[in-house]
Amino acid sequence: MRRRQARVVTEASQAYSFSRRAWLLGVAQGGVGLMLAGRMGWLAVAENAHFSALSESNRVNMTLVPPRRGWIVDRNGVPIANNRTSFRVDIIPDRLERGPEERARILATLGQLLRLTPEDMDRVRIDLDRAAGFQPVPVAENLDWERFAAVSVRLPELPGVAPSRSFARNYPGGAAVAHLTGYVGAPTAEQYKATHNRLLVTPGFKLGKDGLEKMLEDRLRGSPGEKRVEVTAHGKLVAELATRPDVPGHNQRLTIDAGLQDYAARRLGTNSGSAVVMDCLTGEILAMVSVPAYDPNSFSAGISHLEWNMLSEDDHVPLMNKVTQGLYPPGSTVKPMNGLALMHAGVSPLDRVNCSGALRVGTGVFHCHKRGGHGPLDLRGAIMQSCDIYFYEMIRRVGYDAIAPIARMMGLGQKFDLPLASQRYGTVPDSAWKLRKYKRKWTVADGLNASIGQGDVLANPLQLAVMAARIGSGRAVIPSLLARSDRPSAPALPISPDHLATVRAGMWGVVNGGGTGGVARMYVPGVALAAKTGTAQVRRISMAERRSGVLKNGSLPFKLRDHALFICYAPADNPRYAAAVVLEHNGHTVRNLDTPMIGRDIMTYLFDRERAMTSLADVEPSWGGDIATRMAAQANAYRASKNPPPAAVATKTDAVVPSDAPAVEAATDQANSQAADLVGVGPSGTTVAEDGTTEGAQQ
C-alpha cells in the first residue's frame, strides 16, 4: 500500500507506470483472446453434435411418403382390396410464376383443363396466397386419366404445376365386400393426439376405419418412406436429397373366395339380408356378405353428406354388417339342433307326436304353422315338415334346460374370435338365465317359444352357419377368416353318429324328401343339398286374426314382415360346405328372392359355377340390374327427391359439403344404433349376449 502523500509523479515514474499498465492491458487482452478461443472450442467441439444436428434439421426438410397398404387377397390370391394409382395435380408455389397476370393465366388454364368449379378455384387461390416455399398446394385429386393427361402434356406452359401419382385404396368387389373389408379414411385429430405419429398428419395417409381394414391395421400399414429435400431459410428448394422408399404393408390372405363372395352378394338381390358360407371341415369362411352395403371405394375417398344421409335413412340398414351384428330369432332353423338335443336327452327318434294344428298349454293355445296339423310324425318327419307341435310336445317333456347346452355346443350364443370390429352374439335362454336376468321362474311357455327358435332365442347369421357346419360335419368347427396353410380339421363333437345321421336324414328330406324346402333342390348331378328353412315372426298374431285368416306378408308393411332364414350344407351324403342365409322382413313374398332358391344357387356356385351364373343371369335383370347399377339408380332417385332442381346443382352441393371421416363414423354409429333399436338391443352397439331380446317375435 502506497500512501497518497508520498507519491510524486515524475516523467520516469510515469513511464514506468505506463509500461506496467500497458503490460497489464496486454495480458488482459490475451486473456480475452484465450477466452474467445475457449468459447469457440466449447461450441465447436463439446457441443458439436448438438449444433450439427440443429444445422442439419435447418437444412433438410423431411416429408413422409405414405406407405402402400398391404393387399387383402382371397384364398386363391385374387385381390379383395388393393391399391390403384390415383392421379392428382398440385401447385408448387415456389415454382409458380410470380407475375399476377401469368399466375392468373396458369390458374385459368388449369381450371379449364381439370373442369374445376368456381368454389375449387377460390380455394386454390386462397391456399396459394397463404402458401410459401415448396409445400405443394393441392388442386385436384382422384382425377381420371384424360384430365390428368391433359395437364401433363401442357406442362411446359404451366410452370409450377406438378401432376403426380399416388395410391388410393381400391376394392374391386365394391359393395360386395364392404362389410368384410370395411374401408379406409383419414385419421382423426384424436388419433393423432393419442400417438403423435407424424404419419397420421401426412397428406394422403389413410388408415382402416372398419372391418378387416381396421382390425388388421398394424399388419397392412407398412412403414412410410422419407423424402428429404434441402431448403433455404425461405423455404426455397435447393436440391432433392436421398429418398428412402416406403415399405409396403404385409398382404393378408383370407379364407374368402372372392368369386363366391361376389356371387352371394348379387344373388341376395334387393333383399336386406346376409349370407355366410363355411367349409364344414375346417371352419374357413368362404363368403360373408351383408346387403345392401355401401361402396367402400367411395367411402375411402370420402363420401358426401347426401350419400351418407341416403345410407343412414335406408330401412335396409346398409351401414350394418348383418352377419355379425344382426340378431334374429332363428325360428325353425333350430329344429335339427333340437332333434340332437332330444335324442341326447333320451327321446327315441321313432317316438311319434300327433300334430292336430294346435296345442293347449295351461290357458294358452300354441299353433303349428300348418293350420290343419301334420298328423302323427317322428323326429325325421318333424324336421322335414318343420312341425311345431312335435317340438312343443317333446321339449315340454324333457325341459328346455336339456336343449340349451346342445344349442350352445352347436354355436348359438357363442362369440367367435374373428378380426371383425364388433359381434353381437345373442342368447340361448334357460331357467338359470331367466332367473338371473328377470328374477322370474322359467315357464312352460318360455320353453315352447324357445323350442321353435322364437321367444328369447337370438342368434346372428354367422352362428347359424356354424350350426349348419357342425351338424353337417359333426365336428366342432370354429369359423376363421385369415388363411393359414396348415389348418387341421376340427375335432369331432361329443355327439353320437347315429343321432347325427337321423338329423341329417331329416335335413336331406327337407329338400329332397318332400319337406318344406323342396324349392332348394340342386340340379348338380351327384350333389344333394340338405337344409332347414325358418321363419321368424316379428309381430304378434292375435286370436281374432287367426280366426279370420292370418294376413299374408305381402299385404304387411316392410317392417312387419317375417324374417326368412335358411341353413344348409352340401353334398348331403358327404358334407363339405355349409351356409346360412338370413333375410330381414323377406316374408317369403317373391320366390326367386326367397331363402331356398338363394341358398340353393349359392351352394350350386361351389359345385357348378356355370349353372349358378345362368340362374343369376335369368333373374338379376328383373331386380333392376347388378348391385352397382341398382345403387346408382337409388342414389339418383334419392338425390332427385332431396333436390328437385336437376343434377348440376346436386353435384355442386356435393362439392360444397366435403365429406370427412368423422361424418362417416357418425353414420356408422347411427346406423348401428338404429339397427340396435330395430332388434331391441341397447344402443351401445357392444355385444352383450344375455341382453338380447327380440323385436317382438313372441307368439
Q: Which stretches of the chain bind another protein, using CB under 8 A?
A: 4, 7-11, 14-15, 17-19, 21-22, 25-26, 29-30, 32-33, 36-37, 39-41, 43-45, 47-48, 50-52, 54-56, 58-59, 230-234, 238
How far apart are CB 159 and another protein at their closest, in Å?
Answer: 23
Task: Return d(Cα 577, Cα 567) in angstroms, integer.
Answer: 11
How far apart are CB 35 and another protein at their closest, in Å?
Answer: 8
Residues in contact with 582: Cβ distance below 8 Å, sequence separation at least 6, in sequence order:
273, 274, 275, 322, 326, 328, 461, 464, 563, 564, 565, 566, 595
Three-state secondary-structure class, residue 528? coil
Task: Return d(Cα 449, Cα 3) in angstroms, integer.
Answer: 123
Residue in the structure block whose three cell numbers are 355346443 = 409
Q: Report the relative pairing of strands 272-279 and 577-584 from DSSP bridges.
A: antiparallel
Amino acid (1-letter code) at residue 297 = N
Pick between residue 38 and residue 245 the one whose CB is nearest to another protein.
Answer: 38
How far apart are CB 486 and another protein at their closest, in Å?
Answer: 56
- Do 415 and 425 meet the contact criterion of CB atoms below 8 Å apart? yes
How far apart are CB 134 and another protein at their closest, in Å?
Answer: 13
Task: Return d(Cα 411, Cα 426) in angstroms, integer.
Answer: 11
How far apart are CB 7 and another protein at their closest, in Å?
Answer: 6
Pick between residue 18 and residue 145 the one whose CB is nearest to another protein.
Answer: 18
Grid coordinates representing 178?
364392404
Amino acid (1-letter code) at residue 500 = L
How far apart are CB 34 and another protein at their closest, in Å?
Answer: 9
Pick between residue 61 and residue 553 the one whose CB is nearest to another protein.
Answer: 61
How far apart are CB 146 and another protein at their closest, in Å?
Answer: 41
Pick between residue 36 and residue 247 the one whose CB is nearest to another protein.
Answer: 36
Pick between residue 56 and residue 190 the one whose CB is nearest to another protein.
Answer: 56
Grid coordinates representing 547?
280366426
Sign of torsion over alpha carbons 635, 636, 638, 644: positive
Q: Report the relative pairing of strands 577-584 and 60-65 from DSSP bridges.
A: unpaired
How far apart are CB 193 and another protein at their closest, in Å?
Answer: 25
DSSP 409-434: HTTTT-----S-S-----B---HHHH
Residues in contact with 416: Cβ distance below 8 Å, sequence separation at least 6, in sequence order:
423, 462, 466, 478, 479
How far apart are CB 49 and another protein at their closest, in Å?
Answer: 9
How far apart are CB 11 and another protein at their closest, in Å?
Answer: 6
Task: Return d(Cα 564, Cα 595) in angstroms, integer.
Answer: 6
How far apart are CB 103 and another protein at their closest, in Å?
Answer: 24
Pick between residue 25 and residue 637 the one whose CB is nearest to another protein.
Answer: 25
How far apart are CB 127 and another protein at their closest, in Å?
Answer: 23
Q: Where are the alpha helices (DSSP H) in 115-210?
A: 118-130, 145-153, 178-181, 189-195
565: closest CA among 579, 583, 552?
A: 583
Pick between residue 37 and residue 126 the one whose CB is nearest to another protein.
Answer: 37
How far apart are CB 137 and another protein at their closest, in Å?
Answer: 23
Task: Return d(Cα 570, Cα 591) in angstroms, integer.
Answer: 21
Residues in contact with 53: Cβ distance below 8 Å, sequence separation at least 6, in sequence order:
none
Pick between residue 37 and residue 153 the one whose CB is nearest to another protein.
Answer: 37
Pick between residue 25 and residue 688 the one whose CB is nearest to another protein.
Answer: 25
Task: Return d(Cα 484, Cα 481) in angstroms, integer.
Answer: 9
How far apart are CB 60 and another protein at their closest, in Å?
Answer: 9
**Length of the chain in residues, anyone?**
699
Q: Is 133 left (phi over 0), alpha (psi -120 to 50) or beta?
A: left
How far apart are CB 236 and another protein at their closest, in Å?
Answer: 8
Pick between residue 23 and residue 558 the one whose CB is nearest to another protein.
Answer: 23
Pick between residue 237 and residue 528 the one whose CB is nearest to another protein.
Answer: 237
How far apart are CB 26 and another protein at their closest, in Å?
Answer: 5
247: closest CA among 70, 85, 88, 408?
A: 70
Is the preceding peptide bond at 292 cis, omega within 30 degrees of 0?
yes
Task: Return d(Cα 254, Cα 466) in angstroms, integer.
Answer: 18
Pick between residue 239 and residue 544 the one whose CB is nearest to another protein.
Answer: 239
Residue 101 burial (CB count, 10 A):
8
- Do 557 and 589 meet the contact criterion of CB atoms below 8 Å apart? no
Grid coordinates representing 483?
388363411
Task: Return d(Cα 382, Cα 385) in angstroms, integer.
Answer: 5
- Do 531 and 504 meet the contact criterion of CB atoms below 8 Å apart? no
Is the preceding peptide bond at 571 cis, omega within 30 degrees of 0?
yes
Pick between residue 1 and residue 617 the one whose CB is nearest to another protein.
Answer: 1
Pick between residue 25 and residue 541 the one whose CB is nearest to another protein.
Answer: 25
Grid coordinates representing 248?
409396403
Task: Return d(Cα 650, Cα 554) in angstroms, integer.
Answer: 35
How far apart are CB 29 and another protein at their closest, in Å?
Answer: 5
Pick between residue 50 and residue 559 the one whose CB is nearest to another protein.
Answer: 50
- Do 334 and 464 meet the contact criterion of CB atoms below 8 Å apart? no
How far apart are CB 30 and another protein at their closest, in Å?
Answer: 6
Pick between residue 40 and residue 501 the one whose CB is nearest to another protein.
Answer: 40
- Do 349 and 378 meet the contact criterion of CB atoms below 8 Å apart? yes
Pick between residue 50 and residue 552 the one whose CB is nearest to another protein.
Answer: 50
Pick between residue 33 and residue 159 the one whose CB is nearest to another protein.
Answer: 33
Amino acid (1-letter code) at residue 178 = A
